[in-house]
Amino acid sequence: MPNISQKATHMPESPIRKLVPYAEIAKSKGKTVYHLNIGQPDIESPISAINAIKNIDLKVIEYSHSAGIESYRNKLAAYYKLNKIDVSGDDILITTGGSEALLFGLMTACNADDEIIIPEPFYANYNGFAMSAGLNVVPVSSTIEEGFALPPIAEIESKITPRTKAIVICNPGNPTGYVYSEDELLKLRDLVLKHDLFLFADEVYREFCYDGAAPLSVMQLKGIEQNVLMIDSVSKRYSMCGARIGALVSKNKEVIAAALKFGQARLSPPTIDQIAAEAALDTPQSYFDEVQTEYVARRNIMVNGLNSIPGVFCPMPKGAFYCVAKFPVDNAEKFCQWLLEEYDYEGQTVMMAPANGFYSSKNLGLQEARIAYVLKKESLIKSLDVLRNALKAYPGRI
């Protein structure tokens, strides 16, 4: 039998999904599993998007343009302008999810064996995208004690080598919920300009900022317009994770033209999902106001609840719908597996994502787990009860 590729062999597992088999077994035993491991909101998608799908009147579901439906790109550009991001439809390439946007961007901007610097912990699939593109991830570590703020700019600069091609950030952040300040982004801008690097920014959580935090897009940074690639998606903004529609946005015409060739190779993004995404742009502000109020309440329940458990520490995030908590356990991955495999509290247990999978450096995040507070408040309260009692029973508590 022929061997599979080295790339396939070394492709990392998702820490978000790797414990799924244990969750399925727990459910088969009649346990209730609270899924805090994955950013799948239970918020209803906008009715405008649902109705657009229901009311599709097509005789043939055709390919769209490889760059995406023109009316959608233009309407999306208008949305960005409302958010003080001045782009046109020609600066946008519609992709099959934000994942494809980042992958196309990396393959367009970087050569095989180039290096990309990423503050860690970071969205675990960045490792997979980098491997797919033949790139080497160079992590620079933030810490839970500092709330996962951007590491010192001198530390980031020390990682730059002749092979460095780009810096990748997520703002607001997944898995940490951290929102970069204007000062942090300006320091990144100056570094990118000094070393003539690309700056990728995953901004899919733009609508989820709390406590007065305001997202500053990399597209608004003056002087590096040709260096910047923004990644976007409808998945979180409109609670439309199953509509695989993202966008690669850049003022760099050469980048967009080259990325389009990768888009042509996969023919087109899904037509029906684009129709839904275009309709979602009509979503009123009241929808986002209600969603934000709900997430603030969920965040406060979860983070304050975690910090009330002896030995647990969780910084208060100002964006997205994730937090990373440090637990008084020997190993968070073993703890997460034990919760599913051996433990229940009144027939209930919790599934979390071990945070070591969000670090590229070895031996970091070993006591941490990412929690997505995407469930209803009652379920979050019950999840906290499970964790509080589980930590009393866990044999590996320290």
* pLDDT at position 132 over 90: yes
* pLDDT at position 239 over 80: yes
Residue 18's pLDDT is 81
Residue 214's pLDDT is 84
Domain boundaries, the chain: 6-44+286-393, 62-280
pLDDT tier at 397 (50, 70, 90 boundaries)? Answer: very high
pLDDT tier at 373 (50, 70, 90 boundaries)? Answer: very high
Residue 11's pLDDT is 87
pLDDT tier at 257 (50, 70, 90 boundaries)? Answer: very high
Taking the CB of residue 388, how many other CB atoms lie within 10 A of it? Answer: 16
3-state secondary structure the chain: CCCCCHHHHHCCCCCCCCCHHHHHHHHHCCCEEEECCCCCCCCCCCHHHHHHHHCCCCCCCCCCCCCCCHHHHHHHHHHHHHCCCCCCHHHEEEECHHHHHHHHHHHHHCCCCCEEEEEECCCCHHHHHHHHCCCEEEEEECCCCCCCCCCCHHHHHHCCCCCEEEEEEECCCCCCCCCCCHHHHHHHHHHHHHHCCEEEEECCCCCCECCCCCCCCHHHCCCCCCCEEEEEECCCCCCCCCCCCEEEECCCHHHHHHHHHHHHHCCCCCHHHHHHHHHHCCCCHHHHHHHHHHHHHHHHHHHHHHHCCCCCECCCCCECCEEEEECCECCHHHHHHHHHHCCCECCEEEECEEHHHHCCCCCCCCCEEEEECCCCHHHHHHHHHHHHHHHHHCCCEC
Residue 305's pLDDT is 98
The predicted-structure confidence for 163-179, as pLDDT tens digits, reads as follows 999 999 999 999 999 99
Residue 167's pLDDT is 98
Residue 13's pLDDT is 77
CATH 1.40.20.10 fits 62-280, yes or no: no
* pLDDT at position 17 over 80: no
Q: What is the CATH code of the structural domain delimited by 6-44+286-393? A: 3.90.1150.10
